[in-house]
Amino acid sequence: MVRSLVTGLCLAVFAAVIIGLSNLLGLDLEHVALLGAALGGVLGLVPHRPAWGKPAGFLAGFLLAWLGFALRAAWLPDSSGGRAVAAFLVVALVAVVTGLSGGRLPLWSGLVGAASIVGSYESVYTNAPSQFLSDSPAAATTVLLAVGLGFLATTLAVPQADTPRRDRRTAGKGSASDSGPSTSTTLDDLVTGAAS
């Protein structure tokens, strides 16, 4: 409970800092501050090994969704059908990339990356699809900064978040053979693959 409170408060401070940076540096971060901080918090809190797989999966999903916007702007009709094709391709490619990584890039982080660019840029794109080349870099960099600060906040507040629960339970108890096999499986074990 205390760890969740401390992490949440640290994330809240960073969300306010993102808005403060927006005003100080003349950036347009205000509309993505909460989105970026929350998605960065998720990225920092969910355990996964290897640790670099989380941001790498995020970036893969982010880039694939950005390319989905490019595909919509260049070739697909601005209709429900065109949006459906782009959404299908983005999610399918995220799944393929994470599948080919052999578990090193988690699917959830790729989906978080795709959601971050879609959440920050979809309304801008809808208003001016022809301005993709000029508008999308600004949307991408602002949400990446907000996500990065949210990720940093959770990483600083809870540096052990990447350690699976099973490792923390058996730490200091000798070897796994000394303590006997573990029969309980936690959600963290299932998410990280440690239960297999």
Domain assignment of residue 143, given as a range: 2-154
pLDDT at 11 over 60: yes
Residue 171 in 3-state DSSP? Answer: coil
pLDDT tens-digit readout, 174-188: 444 444 444 444 544
In a domain, 191, yes or no: no
Q: What b/e string do you get for 80-89 counting C-beta neighbours within 10 Å, with b at 16 or more?
A: eeebebbeeb
pLDDT at 193 over 60: no
pLDDT tens-digit readout, 58-81: 999 999 999 999 999 999 998 999
The rounded distance, in Å, linking the Cα atoms of 17 and 195 is: 38
In a domain, 188, yes or no: no
- Answer for the pair 44, 21: CB distance below 8 angstroms, yes or no: no
- Indicate the number of domains in the chain: 1
DSSP string, 132-151: HHHHHHHHHHHHHHHHHHHH
At 121, list the tokens. 């840029």
In a domain, 168, yes or no: no
Those residues with Cβ within 8 angstroms of residue 18's Cβ, 6 or more apart along the chain or in another chain: 29, 33, 36, 37, 145, 146, 149
In a domain, 194, yes or no: no
In a domain, 78, yes or no: yes
The rounded distance, in Å, linking the Cα atoms of 144 and 163 is: 25
The rounded distance, in Å, linking the Cα atoms of 35 and 84 is: 23
- Answer for the pair 58, 69: CB distance below 8 angstroms, yes or no: no
In a domain, 12, yes or no: yes
Amino acid at 87: A
The rounded distance, in Å, linking the Cα atoms of 147 and 151 is: 6
Residues in the chain: 196
Lowest-confidence pick of 34-43, 55-64, 119-128, 163-172 = 163-172
In a domain, 159, yes or no: no
pLDDT tens-digit readout, 88-114: 999 999 999 999 999 899 999 999 999
First to last CA, the chain: 28
pLDDT at 173 over 70: no
The pTM for the full model equals: 0.76
pLDDT tens-digit readout, 157-170: 765 544 444 444 44
